Amino acid sequence: MACGSLGISGGPNVVFRLGLSVRGGFSKDSPTDCVGAFTEYNNIIDDIPVGSIVAYTDGSKSNGRTGSGCIIFKDNVVLEKLGVNLNGRSNNFAELFAIKLTLEWVLHNDNTNSDIHIFTDSMIAQNSLVN
């Protein structure tokens, strides 16, 4: 999985990860592609240090409705599930807002300065924040 990181002065290291489906050449209908993605994902999860925050974020727009959501874990325990309606905003806005939800929750609820690993399917969101 492609990744990038965002250093926060005096704060945790934030690592963004993109899945195979974002990088292209991936078909959810191909058993080979799905097994490869699952294997790659498991290898990454195994390398994330104990005590790190792991979050999955997503934004979506369909039929004029837009929403953002995230689920946040630490040591395989669900800490929070968040979702909001964004009243017709763009899909890219929704993807970025999901990451914002995650970072705000961690800022207000985790005082351990843990590394944060954010899994996103938005290359635009990752590139906007990392570059």
Strands (E), the chain: 2-7, 13-18, 53-62, 65-74, 77-85, 116-120
What is the rounded distance in angstroms from the CA atom of residue 110 to the CA atom of residue 122? Answer: 25
29-62, pLDDT tens digit by residue?
A: 767 766 776 777 777 777 888 999 999 898 999 9
pLDDT band at 25 (very low <50, low <70, confident <90, very high): low
106-116, pLDDT tens digit by residue?
A: 989 987 888 89
Q: Element (H or E) spanning 36, and its range?
A: helix 31-47
pLDDT at 1: 43
- Mean pLDDT on 68-81: 92
pLDDT at 125: 85
Residues 6+ apart with CB under 8 A from 16: 3, 4, 5, 6, 118, 120, 125, 126, 129, 130
CATH class of 2-130: alpha beta
Beta-bridged to residue 62, according to DSSP, are 65
Pick the more confident residue, 90 or 123. 90
Rounded to two decimals, what is the model's pTM?
Answer: 0.78
Pick the more confident residue, 47 or 92. 92
Beta-bridged to residue 84, according to DSSP, are 68
Q: Is the pLDDT of residue 82 over 50?
A: yes
Residue among 40, 37, 41 nearest 54 (CA): 41
Burial of 73-106, coded b for 16+ CB within 10 Å and e otherwise, reads bbeeeebeebeeebeebebebbbbbbbebbbebb
